[in-house]
Structure 1
Amino acid sequence: MIKAVDRVLDHLTMYRLVLYYLMVLLVAAFAFSFVKLVPHDPLALAFTTALALAASWITNKAFELVFEIPANNESVYITALILALILDPVAATDLKGVGAIVFASVWAISSKFIFAVGRKHLFNPAALGVALSALLLDRPATWWIGGSLWLLPFVLVGGILVVRKLRRLDLVATFVIAALLTILATTERSLYGDTLRETVSSSPLLFFAFVMLTEPLTAPTTRWSRIAFAAIVGVLFAPNVHIGSFYLTPELALLAGNLFAYAVGPKGRFVLTLERIERSAIDSYDFIFRSPRGLAFEAGQYLEWTLGLNRSDNRGNRRYFTIASAPTEATVRVGVKFYPQSSAFKRELMTMKPGSRIHAAQLAGNFTLPAKRETKIVFLAGGIGITPFRSMLQYLLDREEMRPIVILYGTETQQDIAYRDVLGAARRKLGVRTIHAVARDAVRGQYPGYIDERLIRLAVPDFPERTFYISGP
């Protein structure tokens, strides 16, 4: 069952999964509102959702034209649906209510462009929109989505899928624990039971954790800074936390956390210009970009890449790709494998010409070389999964740094072997052995078949002493 779920998740981007999750919550809320299980008028809920979507889309389109940034309609729809789920629904005749929804939507989208450094926004858009609505219009978020016991199963199941997709259990768990401990610390002991039940079943805690907290562009990318971020937001999230007579709200807690995330995280978004395309193997190509400013990263890390697509598919216009170049190289390289039925993103990528531009952000990843140079390593790569190892090997070559590394590289055919030049240079100059496991047309000196236990025992007899890095299918 878990493997089947993972296969489904693999075909969805994080943004598309969150979008579907929010749509399911709204449909469920709309259905329950007809039978009074959700205390809102279904027509008001439908109108508010349409209003938030329209205001958000129009605002984003205007800024997109001014700033010449590729549109990511999924994030616009996600922001609008979040606002519809945390602001009280309004009727078309409630002019003040309509103004508040439009105000929150416009500022939520505008914040991505106005409150941005290096084209990377600082604050969670929905959180900023509702915070300004509360402070300036006295129309705070009610977080009604967290107050319905009937919607709790939908919030929980969808949220677990999001966390599984993002691999952010540490983030969510730290936040929930910090929030609950702070809530208990500021509550009378005799009320612990009721407080815990109320917090888990009838508060924004879970929706906030699954949807708002995990928003990747405004959360830290490294593990320990991510945990610190979650703890800070969790403590400030508690309803009894206040500064004098000013009580914090969930959105203000998140905005404070966003400032911390910016302080400890990589700064800005990169606009990269394509310099050339190189073929690395059959159906695999390296796209080599120039950056207007230096990109500081560790070998093995990845970026989120964004393209403007006229027509997207269910995987959207963003992808996470490992940086195949080394930090010591002047250009930024990404290696991509193309299949007969490639996604819209990859089809658009193949149409790029020298001079074309792509946006990159969210530098992250802990798949990096160990700090201790004497650590024994095995790089176990399948197909295009060799890209992070290309980055590491080129980095070691440029630094003339020798490490005890063995590479096991599995491919279907000889033509699928990528980066022969770097692998060869690593063997000659650094003494790094590469053992090729070729499934269909192995030649002398190669292992016929796939990487398996027998190959590992033959090629790496001291495998219990080594750290294995595994990348690829």
Structure 2
Amino acid sequence: MNRLVPAWLSPHRTVLLALVALAVYTFALAAVDIGDEGFGYRPAALVRSLVVVIVVSAVVTYACAAVVRVPPNSDSWLITALILFFVMPVGVDAGTLKAAALGAVAASLSKYVLVWRRRLIVNPVVAGAVTCYVFSYAQIGGIAYLSWWVASRELLIPMIVIGVLTITALREWPLIVAYLAAALSTAAIAAAVHPTGHTLALILNSTPLLFLGVFMLPEPLTSPATRRPRLAYGALVGTLMYSSIYVKVTETYAFGFDPEIALLVGCLFAFAVRLASGTARRVPLDVSTSPMVASTYRVSADGRVAFRPGQWATVSTPHWRWPLWVRSRRVFSFASAPNASSDAGLVEFGFTVSHTPSRFKDALIGGARRAYVDNVGGDFVLAPRVRRSSRVVLISSGIGITPFASMLRSLLDDGEDLAGLAIVHVVRAADRAAYADLVERAAASGALVGCVVSAELADGFDAESLREVLPSAWTSADATHYFISGAPAFVGSTARSVRRVDPRTLLRPWRIHTDSFTGY
């Protein structure tokens, strides 16, 4: 199904469109709802809430951005506002409207105050929700209690449909499965211990299990960016949400893991993971962009970034005047070796352009000098145990060779013998072979190299073509690992061909490693 996701549908656009779709359905439901047993919210009250969170979020965000002199990312603040719309109480009176405004203020401020070296620590919506939680329980200012009103029977079906489409487009099913499995298992245990505890119907109809999992849990800047910590993060939040653990604090208040508190703990866990990996900060870059080969550009930057060869970075170039639908973030794989960043403070990325480049790429080509690394992650790395004990085949299409450039530079810098490495690079035209000099250096160090010029195979290898490129000694080896990088269509087609050429990968799927980005 990922092949049906269009290239223009970035993760931020996906979430924004999904939230808009859910909001439109909500307003339609409120408009046609009749009787006392229905949805229960009137369009006028929903409009008041929506206007408050959007206006307050916009004003506070741009005011803070003006103070620090860094433009906000164009769509981020609106996503935060729309999530708050579904979390904060509906604006039926002064208390609920004050809660919506307070949540929006706290969420927007958190992006500039609750930070570690310019990087978010907690999900902004969590910051807004926890602030309202504290004010309401302390009975300060007449702030209404959080309602999470999106968790309702009337919104269950659209939430399921929109959620499935959103998570599929985001490719976040492993995280969501870990979260749901932990949540439902914990709820089942709690229900067995306390018969009055959560039931499945109550969980789906009255708790934000789905909404939090779809729209808040995968937030990229406040969740772990590698597989194992990410799965642990999802399981931790799901477990805490339905643990039914309460600690009596006063005669009238018992602390429990409400949804916003559970996700707060998850965000702190993710922050600890980032601190341990050296990726907890937002790194400013002084960039310069130059042509590399046909329709391909090299971005060289001064900045010290911690990463592993093969990982990606979320790079942003925010602008004051860019409209909401223009992306100010893109994901690029590192082309440089980690020691170039740690020793000399240099990093490199590569990208291609079509006939009409995006506003983001056009800004880089046009001479943009300031960019930011907002996030670093990915599991597309050549683990030492794999490198030592296995033959490794690197298969790429076009600029998909970028993560392999980082791997090769790291291996060559370490003086390693590359006899156990095969490199297959397919390009549409000979003048588009990026990093050809690096591939030649790898061949001189013992790597088996195959460069293929084919517009047809650039969209994916078939089994017969793959057999022609790779000697049978490689595909018949007991523990060959295959790394495949490029556009989603190329990665999917080539991975299927690898399974036909090397049937043992059907029983050992972990030997096929894939890395697909639409930006390639």
Q: 1:450 to 1:43 in 2, by over 3 A?
A: closer
> Which of 204, 209, 217 is matched with 2:213 structurally?
209
Alignment of 1:146 with 2:159, yes or no, is no
CA distance in 1, matches of 2:224, 2:194: 37
Q: Between Structure 1 and Structure 2, how many residues are aligned? A: 456
Deviation at 1:448, TM superposition (A): 12
Indicate the residue corresponding to 1:167 in structure 2: 171
8 A Cα contact 2:309 2:407, kept in partner: yes
8 A Cα contact 1:29 1:38, kept in partner: no
Moved more, 449-458 or 41-50: 449-458
Alignment of 1:135 with 2:134, yes or no, is yes
CA distance in 2, matches of 1:118, 1:464: 49
Q: 1:190 to 1:97 in 2, by over 3 A?
A: closer
Alignment of 1:298 with 2:314, yes or no, is no
Alignment of 1:251 with 2:234, yes or no, is no
Deviation at 1:43, TM superposition (A): 0.3
Indicate the residue corresponding to 1:233 in structure 2: 237
**Aligned positions of 1:73-112 closer than 5 A:** 73-91=74-92, 94-112=93-111
8 A Cα contact 1:90 1:98, kept in partner: yes
Indicate the residue corresponding to 1:31 in structure 2: 28
8 A Cα contact 2:426 2:458, kept in partner: no
> Which of 384, 387, 391 is matched with 1:371 structurally?
384
Superposition RMSD on alpha carbons, in Å? 2.2
Indicate the residue corresponding to 2:471 in structure 1: 460
CA distance in 1, matches of 2:94, 2:207: 28
> C-alpha offsets along residues 217-264 of structure 1, whole Å, 9 cap, x if unaligned?
111111111111112111211162222332221001100111110001
Moved more, 7-16 or 309-318: 309-318
Indicate the residue corresponding to 1:444 in structure 2: none
TM-score, with normalisation over the residues of structure 1? 0.91
Q: 1:448 to 1:270 in 2, by over 3 A?
A: closer
Aligned amino acid, residue 215 of structure 1: E
Deviation at 1:347, TM superposition (A): 1.2
Aligned amino acid, residue 125 of structure 2: A
> C-alpha offsets along residues 344-401 of structure 1, whole Å, 9 cap, x if unaligned?
1111121125xx1101121001111132223211111101111011111111111111
CA distance in 2, matches of 1:86, 1:107: 14
8 A Cα contact 1:170 1:227, kept in partner: yes
Indicate the residue corresponding to 2:499 in structure 1: none
8 A Cα contact 2:233 2:270, kept in partner: yes
8 A Cα contact 1:325 1:394, kept in partner: yes
**Aligned positions of 1:343-422 closer than 5 A:** 343-353=358-368, 356-372=369-385, 373-403=388-418, 404-422=420-438
8 A Cα contact 2:398 2:458, kept in partner: no
Unmatched 5+ stretches in structure 2: 138-143, 249-253, 488-520
Indicate the residue corresponding to 1:262 in structure 2: 271
Deviation at 1:42, TM superposition (A): 0.8
* Matched-pair identity in %: 30
Aligned amino acid, residue 400 of structure 2: G
8 A Cα contact 1:105 1:129, kept in partner: yes
Alignment of 1:18 with 2:15, yes or no, is yes
Deviation at 1:200, TM superposition (A): 2.1
CA distance in 2, matches of 1:470, 1:111: 39
8 A Cα contact 2:395 2:425, kept in partner: yes
> Which of 171, 177, 187 is matched with 2:181 structurally?
177
> C-alpha offsets along residues 54-111 of structure 1, whole Å, 9 cap, x if unaligned?
00000000111112223213111111111111222114xx333322211110001111
8 A Cα contact 1:379 1:408, kept in partner: yes
CA distance in 2, matches of 1:314, 1:105: 21
CA distance in 1, matches of 2:334, 2:177: 30
Aligned amino acid, residue 321 of structure 1: F
8 A Cα contact 1:131 1:140, kept in partner: no
Deviation at 1:9, TM superposition (A): 4.3
Unmatched 5+ stretches in structure 1: 442-446
